Amino acid sequence: PKEIKILDKLAASKDLWEKRIAMIATFAFIQKGKDALTHKIAVKLMNDKHDLIHKAVGWMLREAGKKVSLEKEKKFLDKYAHKMPRTMLRYAIELFPQEVRKYYLSK
């Protein structure tokens, strides 16, 4: 769909705010029970240097886990937690029980 192409283009931008918009706009898909685009853009932005991107990605991952599938969020984290910037990971696991948070922070 057109919306996905637009968000892909924004995620590839050099502009901080366009990248952040791309990530946060996936919330509309999360609300409809779809988290694939959130995960796709999260991977694209995984190595971004800016803290505001880390916060946005972690926030949307947390929302996807909360509103769509906690199991899918955990599968994503199992694959990527060791590569994620610390702030991104902390935002993503914020609602997990303490033992689960410790597990992911030790990766």
Tens digits of residue pLDDT in 17-36: 999 999 999 999 999 999 99
Angle between helices 70-80 and 51-67 (to 10 degrees): 140
pLDDT digits (tens, 9 = 90+) for 47-106: 999 999 999 999 999 999 999 999 999 999 999 999 999 999 999 999 999 999 999 999
- Helix/strand number for the chain, H first, E second: 8, 0
State pTM to two decimals. Answer: 0.95
Residue 63 CA, chain-centre distance (Å), reads 9
Token code pair at residue 35: 């988290």
